[in-house]
Amino acid sequence: MKKRNNNLIRFKHYSNIKTKINKKKFFEKVIENNLNLITHELNFKKNAIFTLGKKFKINFSIKDLKSYKKFSKIVIIGMGGSILGAQAVYDFFKTKIKKQIFFVNNLEASLLKEINTNCSKKNTLFIIISKSGNTIETLSSINSLNKDAIDKRNTIVITTNETNQLLNFAKSKKIKVINHRSYVSGRYSIFSETSFVPLYFMDIQISQFRKDILDFLNKEKKILRNNLFNMFKIYESKKINSIILMSYFKECDHFLQWLQQLIAESLGKNNKGILPVTSLGPKDHHSLLQLYLDGPKDKFFYIFSQNDRNKSRNNLKLFSKVLNNKDINQILFSQKEAFLKTLKTKKISFVEIRINNLNSSTLGKLFSYFILETIIIGRKLNLNPFNQPAVESVKKSTKKILFNQ
């Protein structure tokens, strides 16, 4: 067992996959070359990596957004990575966020009905996000809103400057448009306008969110290097078919959905890829755990936990003896530790990521870690981690069916 510690996030590894010495040296060289390439791209190449760098600047004025602060409710409409990043941040901090926020991330008639019932142009800000501006689900959701729900006083559109349906709509209504950079795809857009605009209205400081995102390329590069080495072993072994993204705190749910998309769309192509599956403990101890532990040994686990020092109260003392006077957080910790111990006993590889201090800087750092890891793994596998050709193919096919072509 190897432990890597830092103040904000702790990584703990167990790996049952062995590597020959010559292969180890090759991995180390590949990792170092990729780290050097990314350091270069931070400053010069305009792709998703550039959004992590210090030269990246937001292309909207905070001053221009202040007039929209008055709304007590926010409806954010988008699909996939365009909205999942902001939704993940919201989940972590929603108890501190005063505004009521609705995320429309699918075609959900019941949710849109609720929005139409409870939201009006007087109390609601609408943020509509689509890189292409032609996303069918996003346009359909707009179509389902009340006729007088949106206008230039309560709506912000984020899309590219290229001619598209959403941009044309915004111009016709004189709605404020913020440019979605064409070189940033949805799943990598967490450090761009698509997330920064919603974060501003959640009262989360963008500067704090970005504060530590380069740590894994600088003072904590050793952590990234060691983790990449373990991930290279997993992909090279070809014995692993699933990555189980398992969390022991509910607030992590949409972060895992974001990570699931990041892994699947970036690394699942050219007949390569490992299926990412989200899971929640201890709930899934009572459904999936049997398969995880006694099924095929073709799974690798990322386990997310939080060091929650806040003791919850046991208001009723009915079962104190059975529970040894432990509160919910203590019981949760025991269940997680028991699972890790069993994984190790059964020689199943895992990485535990334990968040010691949950704040906006920590969360930004966590997002940046997985972006860096995914890009480097993709390049090691000779894949383009930035495209999603199969997704685009289905989009084209959907439009043909819609118009009977």
What's the pLDDT score for residue 43? 87
Judge if 108 and 152 occupy the same domain: yes
Is the pLDDT confidence value at 60 over 80?
yes
Q: Mean of the pLDDT values across residues 364-388?
A: 96
The answer to whether 224 and 2 have CB atoms below 8 angstroms apart is no
Longest dimension (CA), the chain: 69
Any domain includes 380: yes
Residue 7's pLDDT band, with cuts at 50, 70 and 90, is: low
Distance CA 34, CA 39 (A): 9
* pLDDT average, residue stretch 291-310: 90
pLDDT above 90: residue 402: no
pLDDT for the residue numbered 225: 93
What is the predicted pLDDT for the residue at 357? 85
The whole-number pLDDT of residue 317 equals: 61
User: Structurally, how many domains does the chain consist of?
Assistant: 2
> In which band, very low, low, confident or very high, does the pLDDT at 326 lie, cut at 50, 70 and 90?
confident
Q: Which residue has the tokens 């910790």?
A: 333
Instruction: State the pLDDT at residue 1.
Output: 45
Contacts 24+ apart (CB under 8 A), 20-28: 23/236, 24/229, 27/228, 27/229, 27/232, 27/233, 28/225, 28/229
- 72 in the same domain as 11: no
Task: Please say which residue of 209, 224, 240 terminates a domain.
Answer: 209
Q: Are residues 300 and 369 in the same domain?
A: yes
- Tell me, what's the pLDDT at 29? 92
User: Could you please report the per-residue DSSP string of 289-315?
Assistant: HHHHHHS-S-EEEEEEEE----PPP--
Average pLDDT score over residue span 36-40: 94
For 32, the domain range is 2-38+214-389
Of 152, 185, 209, the one marking the end of a domain is 209
Q: Give the whole-angstrom CA distance, residue 241 versus residue 72.
A: 45
Neighbours of 210 (CB within 10 A): 21
Confidence of residue 312 (pLDDT cuts 50, 70, 90): low
Question: Which spans in 47-188 are helix H?
Answer: 62-65, 81-93, 109-118, 136-143, 165-173
Alpha-carbon gap, residue 90 to 103, rounded angstroms: 10
Going by pLDDT thresholds of 50, 70 and 90, the confidence category of residue 315 is: low
- Top-confidence residue, 284 or 323: 284
Mean pLDDT of 354-370: 93
Q: Closest Cα partner for 67 from 135, 154, 150, 140?
A: 154
Long-range contacts of 231-234 (CB under 8 A, 24+ apart): 231/373, 231/377, 232/27, 232/30, 232/31, 232/377, 232/380, 233/15, 233/17, 233/18, 233/19, 233/27, 234/15, 234/17, 234/274, 234/300, 234/349
Residue 4 has pLDDT above 70, yes or no: no
pLDDT at 5 over 60: no
User: Do 282 and 362 belong to one domain?
Assistant: yes
- Distance between CA atoms of 143 and 229, rounded to whole angstroms? 48
pLDDT at 16: 84
Percent of the chain with pLDDT over 70: 94
| Contact status, residue 114 vs residue 216, Cβ threshold 8 Å | no
Token pair listed for 178: 């913020």
What integer is the mean pLDDT of 59-77? 95
**Structural domain contains residue 191:** yes
Question: CA gyration radius for the chain?
Answer: 22
The pLDDT value given to residue 405:
61
Confidence (pLDDT) at 324: 80
Q: Are strands 242-247 and 275-280 parallel, antiparallel or unpaired?
A: parallel
Query: Does 243 score more than 90 pLDDT?
Result: yes
Assess if residue 330 is contained within a domain.
yes
Give the residue carrying structure tokens 């989009």.
395
Residues 127 and 195 in one domain: yes
Last residue of a domain, one of 141, 174, 209: 209
pLDDT at 302 over 60: yes
Residue at 25 is within a domain: yes
Q: Categorize the per-residue pLDDT at 314 as very low, low, confident or very high, splitting at 50, 70 and 90.
A: low
Confidence check: pLDDT of 403 > 80: yes
| Cα distance between residue 113 and residue 108, in whole Å | 9
Same domain, 358 and 218: yes
Are residues 292 and 269 part of one domain?
Answer: yes
Per-residue pLDDT, 10:
87
pLDDT for 313 equals 58
What residue type is 247 in one-letter code?
S
- Over the stretch 100-136, which tens digit does the pLDDT of each residue have? 999 999 999 999 999 999 999 999 999 999 999 999 9
Q: What's the pTM?
A: 0.93
What's the order of all strands across the beta sheet hosting 9-14? Answer: 2-4, 9-14, 350-355, 299-306, 242-247, 275-280
Arithmetic mean of pLDDT over the chain: 91
Alpha-helical regions (H) of 106-156: 109-118, 136-143
Q: Where are the beta strands (DSSP E) in 213-266?
A: 242-247
* Residues, the chain: 405
For residue 2, the model assigns a pLDDT of 44
| Residue 385 DSSP one-character state | T
Give residue 337's pLDDT band: very low, low, confident or very high (50, 70, 90): very high
142 within some domain? yes
Is residue 292's pLDDT more than 50?
yes
Instruction: Identify the CA nearest to 16 among candidates 338, 297, 244.
Output: 297
- Same structural domain for residues 205 and 218? no
